[in-house]
């Protein structure tokens, strides 16, 4: 998958004149190593729903599993926002989530997820489960755009992703 294209973002109603953009490697490293991600989805009645989730950044996409309300929200509206805990060095990915059912892809997610969290997961049918049988469906978020900046609101950057082949 191609690296997203960096540009100066429009923030607070004006284009940033910042030409010192963050490299995508800064964002990728943070996405790979983050312990917790915040996932925002939309309930069927239009109200927002935001919860922390565990997940992995693989092939320039965010992979996660959930048995929570988010899985029902995504069935009706696949638009999501994923962001990290750090508001000073912010990183926000906006995109579309789709359900993953392919056993090979589920295994790939489990192979990355299990050692990251020291929480063994394995495919079961078209979902993933832990040793106790807890789990749920897997989703992958294809980023459309991401935003990042460093402490002090410096190096504001907008990254634009290529559309995934469908």
Its pTM stands at: 0.91
| Rounded distance between C-alpha atoms, residue 127 and residue 118, angstroms | 19
* Model pLDDT for residues 35-48, shown as the tens digit of each residue: 999 999 999 999 99
* Model pLDDT for residues 105-150, shown as the tens digit of each residue: 999 999 999 999 999 999 999 999 999 999 999 999 999 999 998 8
Q: Kindly list the domain boundaries of the chain, sorted by start residue.
A: 18-160
Q: Using the predicted structure, report yes or no on whether residue 75 has a pLDDT greater than 60.
A: yes
| Rounded distance between C-alpha atoms, residue 16 and residue 123, angstroms | 45
Percent of the chain with pLDDT over 70: 93
Q: Is 18-160 in CATH node 2.30.110.10?
A: yes
Residue 145 C-beta-side C-alpha neighbours within 13 Å: 8
């Amino acid at each position: 998958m191609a690296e997203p294209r960096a540009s100066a973002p429009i923030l607070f109603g004006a284009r940033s004149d910042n030409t010192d953009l963050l490299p995508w490697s800064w964002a990728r490293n943070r996405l790979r190593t983050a312990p917790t991600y915040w996932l925002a989805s939309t309930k069927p009645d239009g109200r927002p729903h935001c919860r922390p989730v565990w997940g992995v950044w693989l092939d320039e996409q965010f992979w996660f599993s959930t048995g929570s309300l988010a899985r029902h929200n995504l069935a009706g509206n696949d638009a999501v926002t994923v962001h990290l805990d750090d508001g000073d060095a912010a990183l926000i990915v906006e995109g579309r989530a789709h359900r993953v059912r392919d056993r090979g892809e589920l295994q790939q997610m489990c192979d990355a997820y299990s050692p990251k969290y020291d929480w063994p997961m394995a495919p079961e049918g078209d979902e993933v489960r832990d040793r106790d049988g807890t789990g749920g469906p897997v989703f992958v978020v294809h980023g459309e755009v991401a935003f990042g900046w460093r402490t002090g609101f410096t190096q504001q950057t907008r990254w634009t992703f290529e559309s995934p082949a469908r």
